[in-house]
Homo-oligomer: A and B are copies of this chain.
Amino acid sequence: MSLLNPKKELEREALITNLLKEKGLSITAPRKLILGLLLKEHGPFSAEEILHSLPKNSCDQATIYRCLNQFVEVQLVNTSFLEKDMAHFEYNDPHHHHHHIICRICKKIESFHECLMEKIETNLQRKGYKDIQHRLEFFAVCETCAKG
């Protein structure tokens, strides 16, 4: 694939490197592989999916978890708990803020690029979704912790 468009590939490489540098993370092969994958194929992936999408033996499972946790810590990646026994990870592109809907039965995931609940639920109903529930959680640093 990189052979088809060497210029674009170099751009991507530079982007990945810059993102890591901006966040104060050193540039390593596993980190470039994982972040590169999340940039190219976007959508929430489980650690296992990431492991199997990368070239065989290019990166250990433990390394994937460690890198993903670091990415989440610096808010380069977001975590979803769409399925209760497994976290999903996705590149946190500040210009493409969105949310997800997962079917309770088949687990198919779709994206929503709007951010108003009533609108979203109406759209979901139009799309044929039934028995819609949502869960909205905020994460922040509280006043006490911000001072201490």
Q: Which residues of A contact B (CB under 8 A)?
A: 75, 78-82, 84, 87, 99-106, 108, 112, 115-117, 120-121, 124, 127-146
Contacts and interface: CB of A to CB of B under 8 A. Distances in A.
A82 B132 CA distance: 20
Name, among A78, A99, A103, the residue most crowded by chain B CB atoms within 10 Å (CB to CB): A103
Given A106-B144, A128-B142, A138-B132, A84 B87 contact: yes
Contact of A135 (B106, B124, B127, B139): B139
Contact of A140 (B75, B133, B145): B133
Contacts of A131: 140-141
Contact of A142 (B87, B105, B142): B105
A100 to B, nearest CB: 6
Contacts of A78: 133, 135
Contacts of A140: 101, 103-104, 124, 129-133
B103 A136 contact: no
A121 to B, nearest CB: 8
A139 B81 contact: no
10 contacts: A79-B84, A99-B138, A106-B144, A112-B138, A117-B136, A124-B140, A131-B140, A133-B138, A133-B139, A135-B138
Contacts of A129: 138, 140-143, 146
Contacts of A127: 143
A59 B106 CA distance: 33
